[in-house]
Amino acid sequence: MDKIDSLEITVTPPVAEKQPQIFELHGDKRIDNYFWMRDRDNPKVIAYLEGENAYTQAMMQHTEGLQTQLYEEMLSRIKETDLSVPYRKDEYYYYSRTEEGKAYPIYCRKKGNLDAPEEVLLDQNEMSQGHDFFSIGVLQVSPNHQILAYSVDTSGSERYTLYFLDLNTHQLYPETIPDTYFSLAWTNDNQTVFYTKLDVANRPFQVFRHTLETSVDEDVLIYHEPDDSYYLAVGKTRSQEYILMHLGSKITSEVHYLDANNPKGNFQIIQPRTTGIEYDVDHHSDYFYIVTNEEAINFKLMKTQVASPGKENWQTVIPHREDVMLSGISLFANHLVIYERKDGLPVARVQNLTTDQEHNITFPEPTYSFFEGSNPEFHTTTLRIHYTSLITPPSVFDYDMETLERELKKETEVLGGYDRTQYQSEKLMAPAPDGTQIPISIVYKKSIKKDGKNPLYLTGYGAYGASYPASFSSNRLSLLDRGIIFAIAHVRGGGEMGRKWYEDGKFLHKKNTFTDFIACAEYLIAEGWTTSHASAISGGSAGGLLVGAVMNMRPDLFKVVVADVPFVDVVTTILDTSLPLSAMEWEEWGNPNDKVYYDYMKSYSPYDNVEAKDYPDTLITAGLNDSRVKYWEPAKWTAKLRELKTDNNILLLKTNMGAGHSGASGRYESLKELAFEYAFVLDRLGLTACEQKQSYG
């Protein structure tokens, strides 16, 4: 009898009260016994969540030593007092730094050179005092570097309050603006900003213009988007010449522009929206450059004169290609950087706008991730990029677009003697039921033998066309050093293999996401990497939907499941237009008001398909203030699983009562949450003995 089994004698899980709520649509009747959990003001709801938390704590009490060990391991690898690589904007170098014992970054700058005195812009550690949760949203300095616009969320709801700080006096301006979102743009007069406001469903739906030192009541509404499926964002071109207002649904775009030197002017439209047509805009001299999917599923690059931006004037720069996805572009005074995905990997090339000569930026590893860093300067030949892989710690490079020289500015230091030569990463391909080859990124200790007995941790996402990055995690070493193989299933619904990869995992093809994941798990077992009795899977948000659906389809294939803030009540949520995951999501999952989509979504919705059968050991997490996946989805799912499952396996719900979708905000609390999840996985896989940990070197 293990420790959890012995605890079951005295520890009883909470049993949620059943209050049947009947939903009828398309002649179909659904009964939701736990719909009442939506009422946060009902004392029974908080009591149930706290009861589950108490049960979880009791059932995990015997792992507290392991949790502490994992936390200390992970913390010991982090250089607590550290400095980001400064980036230059005009006369200033901006950077952030961390200090040992402090949970949050400190934002700083130096003027002229890196030997100049440090100026602290914001110290989040001081600002976060008195708050259980603290997050910075917007952080933008005015063009003259004299005023800092920043926004703060102290609940995890992602509703930010906007502030303005005079960097000469370090006094706040009198005005504060509540209920803002992540985007903001300064105009060139250093007195005017454009910002977005949220509606009751947390959708950025309005753009306002604010003039410093004036009442917020006087702010001018620039644009209101009435369509619930669209969201708004504002930004500024690197050329500093235009403010761009981007309106987008999941499948359609519309962009408006304004001369950044004329803040009280009128925004002009580039091309009116056409359903299914997406486009993004950047600026260079007399041209707008436009990345669009019009008659180009993998996107193409066009350009047009600023004076005549309509679609009828667009000229092709890079045509559509079936085998390469155009992910985006970046424009500098003399260079165009082109970001693409080819053969499942991100790639880049640089074009000299004067000579039209091109060259590729190449990377040596079989699976990796890279993205553009902070490049605020337009007139530069230096491109900052961030690179990482499953065995290479995050690395910052400055790449000279003229000389092609690549300078490593910093590789994140992993304390404790990390030796990457002890680890191996590979890219595998697993056959799906329809014959499609699904990429798997995998990493493991070289001492591993493919004897079919290794523990394996498989994760995935597969939604919104987002590619799951094959990136390094020093925390993950706590798994690898205990002999666990880590793998990412790059399933359809993501964007790894191009836009069609995404299209083949959404709408009425959504089940490909789940069957791809199952196929990857079966392949890893068949190839001798692991066994179903030693397999753990995890996923968060839409990845939580993935593991939830897979649990229903093949509960026999896995020993352990971790579902973080899982989107599992698909039909009910997307039918409720008062929620963030509703009308905006119809273009990802389908509109269940249409019977075809209703029937299909109901057939895979994890909550609707819980049955009386055996399920794996399961840990489910939630955030009480989560604005994306409401706390009641994981809570209801837990209650229904507990009611119907026929096994004696462990089912735990852990709700963070003071955070939102991303969990705890401070780095130490975040590590503790991860240590808890790792301890659950290790405990359920039987890998809790201290001697299981292998040392470096």
List active site positions.
541, 626, 661
> Which tokens sit at 389?
């892989």
DSSP-based three-state secondary structure for 349: strand
CA-nearest of 11, 103, 19, 20 to 53 is 11
Contacts of 470 (CB under 8 A, 6+ apart): 367, 368, 369, 389, 390, 425, 441, 488
Strands 324-331 and 28-32 turn out to be unpaired
DSSP-based three-state secondary structure for 585: helix
Task: Spell out where 9-118 has E strands.
Answer: 21-25, 28-32, 82-83, 87-89, 92-98, 106-111
Question: What is the sign, positive or negative, of the torsion defined by CA atoms of 551, 554, 556, 557?
Answer: negative
* 153 vs 133: CA distance, rounded Å: 8
DSSP state, residue 681: H
The H or E element that residue 196 is part of is strand 192-198
DSSP-based three-state secondary structure for 360: strand
* C-alpha distances out from residue 171 to 38, 107, 125, 175, 231, Å: 42, 16, 18, 12, 33
* 139 vs 150: CA distance, rounded Å: 4
The H or E element that residue 398 is part of is strand 395-400
646, 679 contact by CB (below 8 A): no
Q: Give the type of residue at 359.
A: H
First to last CA, the chain: 36
Strands 324-331 and 437-445 turn out to be unpaired
The H or E element that residue 316 is part of is strand 315-318
* 99 vs 93: CA distance, rounded Å: 19
* 336 vs 283: CA distance, rounded Å: 11
Q: Give the type of residue at 91.
A: E
- Cα angle at 273 between 268 and 278, to 5 degrees? 110
> Which tokens sit at 137?
């949203």
User: What is the DSSP secondary-structure string of 139-167?
Assistant: EEE-TTSSEEEEEEESSSSS-EEEEEEET
575, 550 contact by CB (below 8 A): no
> Which tokens sit at 170?
């370090």
Kindly report the length of the chain.
697
DSSP-based three-state secondary structure for 643: helix
Contacts of 236 (CB under 8 A, 6+ apart): 185, 186, 242, 243, 244, 260
CA-nearest of 158, 227, 133, 243 to 195 is 243
* C-alpha distances out from residue 526 to 529, 530, 531, 547, 632, Å: 8, 8, 8, 20, 38
* 563 vs 541: CA distance, rounded Å: 8
